[in-house]
Structure 1
Amino acid sequence: MTLESHRPFIEDLYRELHAHPELSHREHRTAGRMAELLREAGFEVHEHVGGTGVVGVLRRGTGPTVLVRADMDGLPVVEAEQVPYRSTQTDEWEGQTVGVMHACGHDTHMATLQGALRILVEQDDWSGTLVAVLQPAEETIDGAKGMQDDLRRILPDGIDVALGQHVMPGAAGTVSLAAGPVMAASDHLIVTVHGRGGHGSQPEATVDPIVLAASIVVRLQTVVSRTVAPFEQAVVTVGTFHAGTKQNIIPESARFEINIRTFDEGVRARVIAAIERIVQGECEASGAPRPATIERGSTAPLTDNDPQATALVAAAFDEAFGAQHLELRPLLGSEDFSDLPATWGAPYVYWMYGGFDPQLVAEATERGTLAASVPSNHSPTFIPVMQPTLDTATTAMVAAARAFLAR
C-alpha cells in the first residue's frame, strides 16, 4: 500500500477533526476517535493517559523504540468562513461562551500521524517498537508533563528517540529542520503592584498603582534592548493589564502579566532578574507601601533538537524531499513536546512543515509581506491547504520513523 491509497482516509479524517475541535483537557471525543483508529491499526491502546491522552504501542521484534507524537487540542477562536468543513463548535472558556477552532493545525498533526502509522504498519521491512502518543493540552503547555507518570508505567524501559512536527505559515510541500534550539523556552510572570487608593480628585493623598504599573510597562521595553546582546534573542511582552473599577477611584492595586521567550538559560536568568529589578525599583521610586508581588505562571521548555538524531532525520528528508527540505530558523514560539522525551531523558527531533499555497508564500516573501499575507497560527483564518500539506506531513513522519527503526 502507498501514500496514494491512504490519501482519502487522511483527508476525510482531517475534515472530521477540523470540524470537531475541543479545548485543552476536554479532548474527549477526539481522544476516543484516536484510540479507535489505533486499535483498527493493530496497536495496543492505553487511554486516559495523563487525563485525555492516548498512547498506542506496536511491538515488532527487536530494535529501537521510537515515539511519534501529535497534539489534539483546539483553541478558543471563532473560525472564519472559508471551507465547507468549518468548525461551528462552541464551549465555555474563562466564563464566556467561545468558538472553538483548530487554529494551530493540530488536526493536520493527528490526521497525518494516523496515516503515517497505517503506512508503517503495512511495511514489513523494519523491526522495533513504535509508540504513538496523542497528547492533550499542548496549548496550555501542561499536557506532555501531565502524561509523564503514566508513560513511565506504560514504557518502563524508556524510548530511544521521540519525533514530532508542526504545521506553519510556510509553503506547502516543504519541511524545515535544524539541530539545536528550534523553539524558545517561555516564562510567565504575574505582577501585582500595591498602591494606596483614594478619590480621583485627591491623587496627592494616594500612591496611584495605575501610574506605577504603566511606568513599569514602559520601562520593561528596555529589557531586551539594554540587557540582551544583539546576537542573542529574547522577547518580553506585557499581555494583560487590569486595574480599577471606576473613573474617579484610584485603586489599591494593579495587575499585569508578562510573557518571556528565550533560547539560552543565561539570557533567561538575566531577563527575569532585570524584570524583577525594574518592577521593585519602580515601586520603591513611587513610594509604594510594600514591594510588588511577583508570581510564576506556566513555563514551556526549550525545544533543542539532538544533533545526532537530527542528522539521521535530515538525511531521510534529503532523500524524500530534495530541495524542499529547508533549514529551520529558530522560532520564538514555544512547545511542550520536549517534556515527553524528558520523561526518560531521551533525544528528540522536532521539525516544521508548510501549510499554505507556495505561490502566495513566494510572492509575499518577495514583497516582504509574509506576516500580513499568510495567516499565522492561532488566527481565525489559519486553515492550511489540504494538499500537498497532508501528503508532506505524512511522508515526513514515515521517513523520520524509518530513519531509526531497524531494517
Structure 2
Amino acid sequence: MTSPTDTVLSGLDTGRAHRIYRHLHAHPELSMREYATADFVAAELDDLGIGNFRCGGTGVVGVLRNGEGPVVAFRADTDGLPIAEDTGFEYASSATGTLEDGTTVPVMHGCGHDTHVTSLLTAARALVSHPEAWSGTLVLVFQPGEEVAAGARAMVDDGLWERAPVPEVVLGQHVMPLRAGTVNISHGVAMAMADALRVTVYGKQSHGSRPQSSIDPIVLGAHMIARLQTIVSRELDPRTPAVVTSGTFHAGLKENIIPDRAEFTLNIRTFEPEVREQVLSAVRRIVSGEAAVSGAPEPLVEEVYAFPSCHNDPAQAARVETALRAELGEGNVSVSEPVMGSEDFGHLAEAIGVPSVFWMFGGFDLAPGEEAPVNHSPHFGPVMEPTLTTGTRAAVAGILAYLGTDPRG
C-alpha cells in the first residue's frame, strides 16, 4: 500500500533542486547579510503560493496550511562563511563579502547550508503538489546568522512565534562529512553548547631592548593560553567532554617594540550546563590570576557569542528515527553520540517550550577508510546526489511523522 511519503515524493523534480542548489552555492552571503538569499527564498515560496514574511532581518518564514491538524516547524539555515572555496566545482563560489571591520573577504557555503535550503524548498514543493497525503500546518523557517549564533535569537526577538503558528515540535537537519545517503540521529544531547570569548591583555609598552621597563602582554597572553589548556586536562573529570581552543592571537606592530596590549579569542565547547559554568569560571580565574602574577592590569574578557544546547527530545527523536528508517532503510540510519559542533537551532524551540529534533545527513562519496573534508573547510563540497535527494526525503519523512495522513483511511 502506498504511504504518504511515497505519495509526496512521487514525481520529485531533482532537476529543479539541482538548479536551486547551484545558484545558492555560487551566491553565498555572510551571516546576517543574506539579503539576496532571502529574496531568492521568498520568490520560491511565492512561486509555490506559500505565504511568507521577513523576520529577524534576513530571515524568511513561510506558512503552508493544509486543513486541520498539528503544526510543525522545520528550519534551514542560510548563511555562508568567510572562506575561499577550493572544491573545483564549476559552480564554485567566487563571491566576496564585507566583515564588520570593513575587510573584504571571500565567501563560500563551507558548512553546507545551501543543501539545507534546497532540501527544504524541494520538500515544500513536494508537499504542495500532494495535499491529499498530509494535513496540518508546516512553518518553514529559513534562518540567517547560524554561524554567529545570532539568527535564531533575532527571529524569536522579532516576533517569530507571535507572527507564525506555534508548532508542537521544531525539526531541522545538517549535512555532514558522512557517506551520502545516510542519516545519523541522537537521542538527548545532539550538539555541544559553544561560547566564544575575546580576551584583551593589558601590559606596558617599551623598546624591545628594554624588556625590564615593560609588562609584556605577548608573554603574558602566551602563559594564559598555555594555562587554559589545563582546565580540561586537570580540572575536569577525564570522563567529562569539553574543548578549550584559542583560535586567534594578535599583538604588536613591530619586532622591536613590546606592545601595550594583546588580544586572543577562545572557543569553548561543553555538553552540560554545570560543566559550561565550571569552564567559563576557570577561564576568568586563570586569566585574572596570570595577570596579577605579572603585575599587569586586570584583563578584559568579553563574550563574542554563545550557542545554546542542541537537545533532541528522546520521545520525539524516536518518532522521527522510525520515520527515517522507514523512508531511507534500516542500514542507512544510525543512532549517534553527540558531536562537539554547535548550533543555535535549539533556541527556536526553547523560546516557546516545545521539543525539537535535529539530525545529520551525509554528503560525500566515500571509499572504505576515506575521510571527507570537514565542515568549514575550503574543500567542503557535498556531492549533489544522493545528498539533495536524501536531505529532501529525510525532511519529508520527518514532517510526515506528524502531518501524514494514514493511507488506509
TM band (smaller chain): over 0.9
8 Å CA contact retained: 1:357, 1:385: yes
Q: Cα distance, 1:237 vs. partner?
A: 0.6
Quick check: 1:386 aligned with 2:392? no
Aligned residues of 1:64 and 1:406 also touching (Cα < 8 A): no
- Give 1:158 shift: 1.7
Cα deviation digits, residues 11-36 of structure 1 (max 9, x gap): 11111111111111221211111111
Task: Give me the whole-angstrom Cα distance separating, in 2, the residues matched to 1:180 and 1:119.
Answer: 30
Deviation at 1:73, TM superposition (A): 1.0
| Aligned equivalent of 1:85 | 91
Mapped to 2, the partners of 1:301 and 1:314 lie a distance apart of 23
1:231 deviates by 1.5
What letter is aligned with 2:117? M
**1:63-82 equivalent positions in 2, closer than 5 A:** 63-80=69-86, 82=88
Contact 2:187 2:335 in 1 (8 A): no
Residue 9 of structure 1 and its aligned partner are, at CA, apart by 1.2
| C-alpha distance in structure 2 between counterparts of 1:193 and 1:5, whole Å | 57
2: CA distance, partners of 1:58 / 1:296: 38
CA shift, 1:81, in A, is: 5.0
Find out whether 1:128 has 2:132 as its counterpart.
Answer: no
Whether the 8 Å CA contact 2:87–2:380 is kept in 1: the answer is no
How far apart are residue 10 of structure 1 and its match?
0.9
Match of 1:53 among 38, 59, 62: 59
Q: Decide whether aligned partners of structure 1 residues 388 and 255 sit closer, same or farther in structure 2, where only a CA change above 3 A counts.
A: same
- Contact kept? 1:227, 1:270, Cα under 8 Å: no
> How many residue pairs get matched?
394
Contact 2:12–2:126 under 8 Å retained in 1: no
1:21 and 2:28 correspond: yes
Question: Percent identity, aligned pairs only?
Answer: 48
Query: CA deviation digits over 1:109-138, x for unaligned, max 9?
Result: 111111111112223132111110111111
Does the C-alpha gap of structure 1 residues 180 and 247 become closer, same or farther in structure 2, counting only changes over 3 Å? same
Matches within 5 A, 1:122-271: 122-123=129-130, 124-148=132-156, 149-155=158-164, 158-271=166-279
Shift of residue 37 of structure 1?
Answer: 1.1
Distance 2:26 2:210 in 1: 55
Contact 2:87/2:381 (<8 A) preserved: no
Instruction: Mark the runs of 5 or more structure 2 residues left unpaired by the alignment.
Output: 1-7
Is the Cα contact below 8 Å between 1:220 and 1:236 reproduced in 2? yes
The answer (yes or no) to whether the contact 2:68–2:136 under 8 Å persists in 1 is yes
Check the 8 A contact 1:168/1:353 in 2, yes or no: yes
Q: Which amino acid aligns with 2:79?
A: D
Aligned counterparts of 1:81 and 1:218: Cα–Cα separation in 2: 35
Equivalent position of 1:376 in the other structure: 374
Q: Secondary structure at the match of 1:147?
A: helix
> Hey, which bits of structure 1, 4+ residues long, moved more than 4 A?
none
Residue 272 of structure 1 aligns with an amino acid whose one-letter code is L
State the alpha-carbon separation in 2 of the partners of residues 101 and 114 from structure 1.
Answer: 20
CA distance in structure 2 between the aligned counterparts of 1:5 and 1:71, rounded to whole angstroms: 22
Q: Whole-Å Cα distance in 2 between the matches of residues 349 and 119 of structure 1?
A: 21
| 1:215-258: CA deviation from partner (whole Å, max 9, x where unpaired) | 11111111101112122110001111122222222222222111
Structure 1 spans left out of the alignment, 5+ residues: 365-369
Report the TM-score, using the length of structure 2 for normalisation: 0.93
Q: How has the CA–CA distance of structure 1 residues 262 and 338 changed in structure 2, closer, same or farther, with 3 Å as cutoff? A: same
Q: C-alpha deviations, 1:267-287, integer Å up to 9, x for none?
A: 111111111111111111112
Aligned twin of 2:9: 2
Query: 1:47-103 CA distances to partner (integer Å, 9 max, x unpaired)?
Result: 2x1101111101222211100111111111111251221112122234332221111
Q: Distance in 2 between matches of 1:358 and 1:192?
A: 43
SS in 1 for 2:16: helix
TM-fit CA distance, 1:3: 4.9
User: Are residue 397 (structure 1) and residue 395 (structure 2) matched?
Assistant: yes
Equivalence for 1:102: 109
Distance 1:102 1:3, change over 3 A: farther
Q: In the alignment, residue 303 of structure 2 is paired with which amino acid?
A: R
Indicate if the aligned counterparts of 1:263 and 1:302 stay in contact, CA closer than 8 A. Answer: yes
Partner of 2:298: 291
